[in-house]
Amino acid sequence: MLAVVREKVMPRIDGARLIADLRRIAEFGRYQTGVHRPCLSEVDVASRRWLAERFAEAGLEASIDGIGNVFGRSRAPGPKLLMGSHTDTQPRGGWLDGVMGVIYGLEVARAFRDDPACRDIGVDVASWADEEGNFGSFVGSRSFIGALDEAEIDQMVSREDGTPLRQAIAQAGLAGEPRAQLDPARYRGYLEAHIEQGGVLEHERKRIGVVTGIVGIVLLHLRFTGKQNHAGTTPMPIRKDAGVALTTYCSAVHERFRKLTGPATVWTVGQIRLDPNMPSIIPGAAEMLLQIRDPELDKVDELAAEAKKLAAEANAAGPCGVAIEQMSRTLPTRSEPKFMDALQAAAETHAPGGWMRMPSGAGHDAQILAKKLPSAMLFVPSIGGVSHHFSEDTGEADIALGCQVFADAAAAILRG
C-alpha cells in the first residue's frame, strides 16, 4: 500500500536549500568546525528567533513558548505529523547534532507546500528546548507533554554559569509566555531525524538507519570509603585506599559484564572523583558513576543487579566500604512499526539496499514524545562515528538523501 501511495505523492526536497539553512544556523555560536550553543544563552535565543522567522517564511504559524520551544504549525486542512529535534548543542559540539532534524522538518514543510498534491497534508515542526541538559533532562519536550511542573522549573540552573532557568527565560523575553501543550488529536504521530552519533552505518556501508527503538539506561552511583593517610609512610598491607578499591571494582565490572552482554549492551564509567585527589595522600574516599545501556530492559536490569552484587562482594571483602545507589532508570522506547515500515520503504526507493534497522544508543526527544504519540526515528551516518565534539560531521549527500527519505515516509504515513 505504501509503495502505491509513494508513486502518487513524491514531495521533492531542495537539498541546496536544506544545506544552506544548516550552514547558516551553524553560525550562531560557531566554534571551530562545530557549535557552542547552550540552551537559552544569548546566541541560542538569537538562533531560535532566526528559526521562527524561517518557519514563518515557509507558511507555518511560528511561535516560541514560555520554556523556549520553537514551533512552526501547519495551516493544512488535512492530517498532520509532528517533526522535531533540538537546536541547542553540547559544549563545543557538532554542527548537526539535533539541529539537522529541525531543519529536516522545515524542509519537508516547504516541500509539502511546493507540491500541489501535498498541500492538504501538513507537518508541524518543533525545536525542543534543552535536549542537551544545560538546565535539566529533556526540558522542552517534557514540558510539551505535561511532564514538567513549575516546582521543577524553579529548581533548575544552568550547568554553564549557574543562571536559574527562570532568570534565563526572563532574559530571553519569554517570561509570561504560556508553555505549549500537546493536543494528541492533532497528529498521526511524531518523526525525528538525527545523525547516528556512532559508527555502525559507516562500518556497514549503509546510508540510512531506521531506528527500532531507544535504549534503556540505568545510572548507578558508588562511593568507596577508606582511610586517608600519608602516601609515603603507610605500608601497602595496612592501607585502606579508596582509589584502589574503586579501580578494582571497575576492573571486576568489565570482566563480569563481558560475560552477560547482549549485542547492543554498553556500559561506561563516566565520572571518577578521589578525595582529596592529591599525589602524596592516600584517598580516603572515592566516587564513580556507572551507566548501563541496552535496548532490552531485562538486560539493563540484569547488569544493574550484577553491579550491585559486585559492590556487596567488595564491601564484604574490604578493606574499604562500598555503597551503591541507583540514581535513575530510563525505560527503553519502541518505535511505531508502521512508521518504521514507511521509513524503510522510502529508504529502499532512494537507496536500494543502503539502509538497515538499528537501535539508538543515545537518548532523544523522541523517547519523550513516544509516551503520548506513535513515534519513530531516522539516522544518517556520522563520519568516523564521531559525536559530541566539534569535528562531528556528515556528508552533504547523505544529509540530502536522509531528508528526501524523511519526506517520502511522512507523505506515506499521512496518506496511509
Q: Is the pLDDT at 5 greater than 70, yes or no?
A: no
Please return the burial class of 301, using the count of CB atoms within 10 Å of its CB with bins 0-12, 13-18 and 19+: middle
At 362-407, the pLDDT tens digits run 999 999 999 999 999 999 999 999 999 999 999 999 999 999 999 9
Residue 274: predicted pLDDT:
98
For the chain, what is the radius of gyration of the CA atoms? 24
Q: pTM for the complete prediction?
A: 0.91
Contact present, 398 and 96 (Cβ < 8 Å): no
Q: Is the pLDDT at 6 greater than 90, yes or no?
A: no
Nearest Cα neighbor of 266 from 334, 198, 356, 201 is: 198
At 179-190, the pLDDT tens digits run 999 999 999 999
For 128-265, strand residue ranges (E) read 187-195, 208-214, 216-225, 229-230
Residue-range domains of the chain with CATH: 2-214+333-415 (3.40.630.10), 216-330 (3.30.70.360)
Alpha helix segments (H runs only) across 235-275: 242-258
At 306-365, the pLDDT tens digits run 999 999 999 999 999 999 999 999 999 999 999 999 999 999 999 999 999 999 999 999
Average pLDDT value for residue range 82-99: 97
